[in-house]
Amino acid sequence: MLNRWNTVSLYFLIMLIFLPEPSTSQVNEFPSDQEATKKTVALFRNLRALSGKQILFGHQDAMAYGVEWKDWHRNRSDVKDVCGSHPALFGWELGKLGLSERNLDSVNFKQMQDWIREVYKSGSVNTISWHMDNYVTKGTTWDTSGGNVVHTILPGGVNHELFKKDLDVFAEFLRGIGKKVPIIFRPFHEHSGNWFWWGQRYCSPAEYKALWQFTVDYLRKEKNIHHLLFAYSTDVVSSREEYLEKYPGDEYVDIIGIDDYRDVGQGGSSQKLVERLRMIVNIADEKNKIAALTETGFEGVKNPNWWTQQLLTPILQDQVASRIAWLMVWRNDSSTHHYGPYPGHACVPDFLAFAKHERIMMNDRLPSMYKFKQ
Ligand code: BMA
């Protein structure tokens, strides 16, 4: 005989059996750093939760300068001049950190720290890349001579101490910003290409992985830094095997990224971009990570309808590809070397349509990224 309590328990038992599996819910997901700060965890979960709903729009160096202006302007960006809102994500670059007061594109590092804090306060997201100079030749990041440079900076290598010093300077740079500001760090990017000294043909997969793992472990364990998410991004690759060839492991990566200029430039095929995005979204899904188009753009934006025609519409037409968390275009340096819009450019009307699209997130429509609501 079922008494009242048995009936209630039976009811709950049935509920438990038939309740849908807790979805790959973002609620309990954790970034690769088990000791990540609360805000870093929130950023990770929010980026996951937005997937399929919205895509954050990002622009490299957006607040530091634009096509017609170079000096310090408070709270300005070409993107804001054009559409009234800053981007939802800002890229920054550390090339020359520790060697000069300014980075390789003349951005003052102290000002960069201020901007990073401002971006955080405004609710947008910061991501940092590092075009590191060549440790062997002392040439630039594009100097691929000097043999296997990666080997020399690994533990036991002749330049290992120098490399550690640079990581110390980076840790100091982060401390100057403040540990409460979560940052997406994207080191040794486009390693599938051959234009940086850490590129495809200049080191083995084992060496690249060791370099990545050392970097992450050193920052976490030696420097006690727990407010970074790590972004792995290849250049265009044609297969999943190629993509994962130098993947350092799930404990070391949060963002499954790709840099793709080729498919959206002159003579490119947006369909190819979509295929590559499908690939990274699928990998991110399997690993409970975040997929992102970490760099893209058409230099000079030579198609006035580029934003919607070559970028947004093809991406949104695909249910998988459109689940990337963000897409970021490269910097606005001059009227010939720019990837974002600026006032007066022929692509402005189309950019406005892009920026106002319900699936695109600019700063003014961003939900709180640093608090996670269950
Ligand atoms: C490249 C170009 C260079 C720049 C470098 C690092 O793609 O924009 O002019 O120095 O990125 O920002």
In whole angstroms, give the CA distance from residue 201 to residue 177. 36
Q: What is the pTM of this model?
A: 0.93
Which of 172, 198, 176 lies closest to 187 in space, CA to CA? 198
Distance, CA of 91 to CA of 187 (rounded, Å): 12
User: How far, in Å, is the centroid of ligand 1 from the Cα of 333?
Assistant: 9
The residue whose C-alpha atom lies closest to atom 3 belonging to ligand 1 is 105
CA of 294 to the centre of ligand 1 (A): 15
* Atom 9 of ligand 1, nearest CA residue: 105
Match 């994962």 to its residue by tokens. 244
DSSP state letter for 136: T
Q: Residue by residue, what is the 3-state secondary structure of 292-359?
A: EEEEECCCCCCCCCHHHHHHHHHHHCCCCHHHCCEEEECCECCCCCECCCCCCCCCHHHHHHHHHCCC
Cα of 286 from ligand 1 centre, angstroms: 33
Please name the amino acid found at residue 185.
F
pLDDT at 19: 43
Å from CA of 231 to ligand 1 middle: 19
| 331 CA distance to ligand 1 middle (Å) | 8
Model confidence over 247-256: pLDDT tens digits? 999 999 999 9
> What is the reported pLDDT for 12?
53
Pocket test for ligand 1, best of 103, 127, 331 (most atoms within 8 A of CB): 331
Going by alpha carbons, the residue nearest to atom 8 of ligand 1 is 331
- The DSSP result for 17-29, as a single string, is HHSPPPPS-GGG-
- Atom of ligand 1 minimally distant from the CA of 93: 12
One-letter amino acid of 294 = T
**pLDDT value at residue 10:** 52
What's residue 23's pLDDT?
46
Distance 59 CA to ligand 1 centre (A): 13
Question: What pLDDT is stored for residue 20 in this prediction?
Answer: 41
Cα 5 to averaged position of ligand 1 atoms, centre (Å)? 69
Q: How far is CA 123 from CA 226, 250, 340, 361, in A?
A: 19, 27, 21, 12
Residue 197 pLDDT: 98
Going by C-alpha positions, the residue among 294, 351, 284 that lies closest to residue 89 is 294
Q: Which residues of the chain have pLDDT under 50?
A: 1-2, 15-24
- Give the ligand 1 atom nearest the CA of 60: 12
Rounded to whole angstroms, the Cα distance separating 289 from 287 reads 5
Q: Which residues does a 6 A CB cutoff place in the pocket of ligand 1?
A: 93, 95, 104-105, 131, 330-331
Residue 22 pLDDT:
38
Ligand 1 atom 7, closest CA: 330
